[in-house]
Homo-oligomer: A and B are copies of this chain.
Amino acid sequence: MMFERVLIAEDQESTSISVRKTIEDLNIEDPEYVFYCDDAFARIQKANKIGQPYDLLITDLSFEEDHYIQKIVDGAALIRAAKDEQPGLKVLVFSAEGNPAVIDALIKDLGINGYVRKARHDAKELRLAIEAIAKGNRYFPAQMKVPIKERNTYDFTNYDTTIIALLANGVKQKEIPEYLQDQDIKPSGLSSIEKRLNLIRDVLGFSTNEQLIAYCKDFKII
């Protein structure tokens, strides 16, 4: 039982065209497509109201900002809003993001039904993913089963990222307490900050703050 009503949220025109083509190759007529998250949500909302809800949302994760100010600025927020409006909506994420932690979070927190990485055989994969989801299955890249072990998992709290972001902005460690006090963030003592950084470095096996910053940039933690 193939889908009938599909919505594509993807800001890159060229990618959007390809996705549409893949959909049409599956004999799904008139896939709808939008370039902004806000538009996507508006359509989902309206379709749901008039009793003709979408069967599947295919969405990118990162959307470029431009002069049209948007309420929903990325795919994760769109999925959250969409599921809120229509909990049963199937969601397939199509993104270049390769960080397992990010994908894992989407699966766990947002309950997405599939993930296809923009990569060498993405068009073929997209087709397989849609077919799988149509059958009630889920579709995730094969590597997804492995990487859970290899993660030196440390859950960065808001507190952690605040401190690390300050360091990355050139604030010296001993100046951080005043910054935290300004924003009423506790603990603000220099010792607490030192301890925290020490803990993080220790858990991740790092020896310097420089290494930590590099890591956080690589994994988009800051």
Contacts and interface: CB of A to CB of B under 8 A. Distances in A.
Interface residues of A, number: 39
Interface stretch (A41-49, A130-138, A177-185, A207-215): A207-215
B206 A64 contact: no
Interface in A25-53: 35
A210 B209 contact: yes
Interface string A103-139: 0000000000000001111111010000000000000
Contacts of A211: 167-170
Interface of A: 11-15, 17-19, 21-22, 35, 64, 66, 96, 118-124, 126, 167-172, 206-211, 213-214, 217-218, 222
A171 B210 CA distance: 9
Nearest to A94: B14
A123 B66 contact: no
B119 A64 contact: yes
A152 to B, nearest CB: 13
